[in-house]
Structure 1
Amino acid sequence: MPSLTTKMKKTGTAFRRAAVGAAALCLPLTLTGCAGLDTTAPSAVRADPAPTAQAARFGTVDCRVAKCIALTFDAGPSENSARLLDILKEKQVPATFFLLGPRHIEKYPELVRRMADEGHEVASHTWTHRILTELEPEEIREELERPNEEIERLTGRRPTLMRPPQGRTNDTVHEICRELGLAEVLWTVTAKDYTTEDSALIQRRVLAQADRDGIILLHDIYAGTVPAVPGIIDALKERGYVFVTVPQLLAPGQAEPGKVYR
């Protein structure tokens, strides 16, 4: 029987190949107007006059004043997530986790609970990482409802955020998210960690793109990513950044179901 490490390496390799292929496919779309997706910036949400409670174990942050940035991780939990949580706890940094179902939520329920218990935001990356824009409405609902149910069962809190696989979304996805009480969260910074296991390169890519109100996309399923996190945190703290979850980034406003944030 293959070892757990071997299985996880195979899973990561398959995910990496799919991601690289997706990046190649998205290039012509971006050049022909894909980048015109209607999204809402965190600063626009913070202008909402109706405040909401944004308590977390790491304390509350007013991103109208502080230079905030959000660290997010897709496609876990994985065998690397426990070490990542140790690093975040040591550095006193909250993160937002967009989780998958089979071989992830189902395999590491204790890590899902730990993420919530330690003050991180636990959200959905769909159940099986199918491209939502290629599915029928009922299939989209299933992809979104299943992780919500499992996360709520494990943590006691139903997710209010989701990240569409490959960032691909459309009006049908928006409408179903609205029905299910989910806001869509994209990103402004990507290390493309699915293309390399070089932790130093991952760190350089993040630092080169980081800016105020940024949303950093990383994947804790890849071997090179978690070792890059301490350096990313330390370097951004030196630049004056404060790390927050996505809901904290939007506070005192809050994400509205059916809308896309970036």
Structure 2
Amino acid sequence: MKDDQLTPGRRLVLRAAAALGAAAAAGCTATGGQDAPGPTAPSGAPAAGPPARRALKPSAYRLQPMAGYGPPRSARVLPRVRKAPILRVDGHDRSMVLTFDDGPDPRYTRPILRTLRRYDVRAMFFVCGEMAADNPDLLREMADDGHLIGNHTWSHPLLPKLKRSTMREQMERTCDVIEDVTGEPPAWFRAPYGAWNRNAFQLGAALGMEPLAWTVDTLDWTEPGARAIVRRVRAGAGPGVVVLSHDAGGDRSGSVDALRTYLPELLESGYRVTVPGRYAT
């Protein structure tokens, strides 16, 4: 059949097929195929492209989600920058706060948690990031029991001797571990050795944390024995008092035994052992 004898419908089909074939050929030429060689350096080796960018771990304390992705998050309310740490809490109702530093350590933190659970009492644990990272199960147990988990830096350094950037890293890394494990960022910070400076107050506030020190130091870090620790708690007990003890960093068996004695005594004397609100006044 001659071309001028083709029906209009057949001419339309043939033209469409020809157009598709031409487009396919053009596409193959543009992509170059899988075997097409890339650019080469003068030596004949493939030329180096732009270096791959190293993936960075995001931090909730540095990055905020871009608008339009995920549910909107309310702005975090930050505490004011203080010039001194909080030493005691509102004690109008004869409340006291028990705090434990440097953990978690399975040898001492677990029996402390059992004693607190027995008397249905909540406490505060100021954890070191490296200890928390090694014992996430204990961190979850603290949170599940309703205890407050505070930031005590990553490795317990003397903060005034650190550069601001190093201090921020110590605090930030610990915040990350606490939030990753418990789902909540820490609202409280305690400087190791009670050594504060302006950078510590500024960075703590910028990370959403209030600085808490203590009223009564049990000196349990000197390992004086349970009786000496109990005497110090008895002597210092009072409304609004914050008691400092430790659940890691040495032999803390005296701290464990002392708690079993002074905690029921405090409760029988009418004290309410509790934890402060998110932000103190």
Give TM-score, length-normalised by structure 1: 0.70
CA distance in 1, matches of 2:122, 2:85: 24
- 2:115 is aligned to 87
CA distance in 1, matches of 2:198, 2:174: 21
CA distance in 2, matches of 1:39, 1:122: 17
Percent identity of paired positions between Structure 1 and Structure 2: 33
CA distance in 2, matches of 1:42, 1:206: 15
Q: How many residues align?
A: 195
The answer to whether the 8 A contact 2:155-2:170 is kept is yes
- Whether 1:255 aligns to 2:248 is no
Do the aligned partners of residues 41 and 149 (structure 1) sit closer, same or farther apart at CA in structure 2, a change above 3 Å counting?
same
CA shift digits 1:34-80 (9 cap, x unpaired): xxx7445656xx6xxxxxxxxxxxxxxxx54x210000000010121
Alignment of 1:183-198 (within 5 A): 183-198=210-225
Secondary structure at the counterpart of residue 98 of structure 1? strand
The answer to whether the 8 A contact 2:101-2:125 is kept is yes
- 1:244 is aligned to 274
The answer to whether the 8 A contact 1:73-1:217 is kept is yes
| Pick aligned residue for 1:96 from 117, 124, 143 | 124
The answer to whether the 8 A contact 2:88-2:214 is kept is no
Report how far residue 238 of structure 1 moved.
2.2
- 1:176 is aligned to 203
| Pick aligned residue for 1:212 from 239, 253, 256 | 239
Do the aligned partners of residues 40 and 111 (structure 1) sit closer, same or farther apart at CA in structure 2, a change above 3 Å counting?
closer
- 1:230 is aligned to 260
CA shift digits 1:71-91 (9 cap, x unpaired): 000001012111111110001
1:115 is aligned with what amino acid? M
Higher alpha-carbon deviation: 133-142 or 173-182: 173-182
Secondary structure at the counterpart of residue 233 of structure 2? helix
CA distance in 2, matches of 1:146, 1:129: 12
Higher alpha-carbon deviation: 229-238 or 126-135: 229-238
1:215 is aligned with what amino acid? V
Report how far residue 255 of structure 1 moved.
3.0
Report how far residue 101 of structure 1 moved.
2.1
1:83 is aligned with what amino acid? P
The answer to whether the 8 A contact 2:175-2:186 is kept is yes
What 5-or-longer segments of structure 2 have no aligned partner?
A: 1-82
1:76 is aligned with what amino acid? G
Secondary structure at the counterpart of residue 175 of structure 1? helix
CA distance in 1, matches of 2:98, 2:85: 19
CA distance in 2, matches of 1:145, 1:80: 26
- 1:150 is aligned to 177
Do the aligned partners of residues 82 and 208 (structure 1) sit closer, same or farther apart at CA in structure 2, a change above 3 Å counting?
same
- 1:127 is aligned to 154
Secondary structure at the counterpart of residue 110 of structure 2? helix
- Off by >2 Å, runs of 4+ in structure 1: 37-43
CA shift digits 1:193-220 (9 cap, x unpaired): 0112511111111111121100000001
CA shift digits 1:168-208 (9 cap, x unpaired): 11112111112111111000001100112511111111111
| Pick aligned residue for 2:94 from 48, 67, 74 | 67
* Larger relative contact order (CA 8 Å, sep ≥ 6): 1
CA distance in 1, matches of 2:258, 2:271: 17
Report how far residue 246 of structure 1 moved.
2.9
1:72 is aligned with what amino acid? T
Give TM-score, length-normalised by structure 2: 0.66
- Whether 1:140 aligns to 2:187 is no
Alignment of 1:158-173 (within 5 A): 158-173=185-200
1:100 is aligned with what amino acid? C
1:144 is aligned with what amino acid? M
The answer to whether the 8 A contact 1:96-1:246 is kept is no
Alignment of 1:10-89 (within 5 A): 38-40=84-86, 64=92, 66-78=93-105, 79-89=107-117
Structure with greater helix percent: 1
The answer to whether the 8 A contact 1:115-1:121 is kept is yes
The answer to whether the 8 A contact 1:125-1:164 is kept is yes
